[in-house]
Amino acid sequence: MRLGVLDVGSNTVHLQVVDAHRGAHPTPMSSTKSTLRLIEQIDAEGRLTRDGVDRLITAVAQAVKVAEASECEEVMAFATSAVRDASNCVKVLATVQAETGIALQVLSGTDEARLTFLAVRRWCGWSAGRILGLDIGGGSLELAVGIDEEPDLALSLPLGAGRLTLDRLTQDPPTRDELAKLREWLAAELQVPVRELVAQGRPDRVVATSKTFRSLARLTGAAPSGAGPLVRRTLTAEGLHQLIPLISRMTGPDLAEIDGVSRSRSYQLVAGALVAEATMRTLGVDELEICPWALREGMVLRRLDLTEAGQ
């Protein structure tokens, strides 16, 4: 089965074409991205702006053409934090469907955490034991813990790297005062959710997914993406401790020139690093393992599970 997975996130609209069937891993065939930064297109009333909607329609329409050219049997289209949190979300969804024919499914933050956890569990296998999964997106931070494919606890917090950059790091590069205040605020925000996670039991493995964590791992010495997904990659607290003073003195355009940092996300790398640092510190974690599978793979795996069940 050839599927198109269309992910409307806070930073990009990303179409991944995969060949997949039950009992096998999804095989990526192509990847097409449009950088929209929808999180920056939210106005003072919390609405996605007309310009943001127009750009979203254009990106979705382009993705549909790619999916058709790739002979996808189905396009699984979903939206996360930026669209979900917009006060005009319902109108945006209706407009996108009317203009492109694509009905975007809005995932709750909890569903994001659950589906990402499923992907991590399938990648790591049952021998991983109890897994604690972390995912820093543009608009939110997802955390989930459990020993099965369905986590015992799944949380989504409004601590995304793009959101915090817009709200709390107004200078480029950020000032020392901004960094100190964000660190203090993050420590306070994470206390209660981390307490809930810890109450579920000590994890056997702590695993992180998605672009922010991959970039941070790369900048602290992990193998480049060209080495392939099977190479073990980690991010350590010590590596972050050494990295943050360096990247926090650089502008977004300068960061974009570094190997391993995407231009579309360079502006939010410092905030993402501070979220990673605060989360690891509050959890008492010294090292994270980086998983190459995340939300999109979780969506595909769940779709295949439902197909097998005849739903």
DSSP reduced 3-state for 9 = coil
- Domains 2-106 and 109-295 equal at CATH topology level: yes
Q: Rounded CA gap, 278 and 284, in Å?
A: 10
0.85 cut: is pTM over it? yes
The CATH homologous superfamily to which domain 109-295 belongs is Exopolyphosphatase. Domain 2 (3.30.420.150)
Q: How far apart are the first and last CA of the chain?
A: 16
How many whole angstroms separate alpha carbon 182 and alpha carbon 175?
11
- Provide the pLDDT confidence category of residue 309 given band limits of 50, 70 and 90: low
User: Over 90: is that where the pLDDT of 307 sits?
Assistant: no
Alpha helices in the chain (DSSP H): 50-69, 81-85, 89-100, 109-124, 161-168, 176-198, 210-219, 237-247, 252-256, 269-283, 295-308
The per-residue pLDDT for 264 is 85
pLDDT of residue 303: 93
Residue 5 is predicted with a pLDDT of 97
Whether the per-residue pLDDT at 80 is higher than 90: the answer is yes
Query: 250-273 pLDDT, tens per residue?
Result: 999 999 999 989 888 999 999 999
pLDDT tens-digit readout, 279-299: 999 999 999 999 999 999 999
Domain boundaries, the chain: 2-106, 109-295
Could you please state the CATH topology (level 3) that the domain comprising 2-106 is classified under. Nucleotidyltransferase; domain 5 (3.30.420)
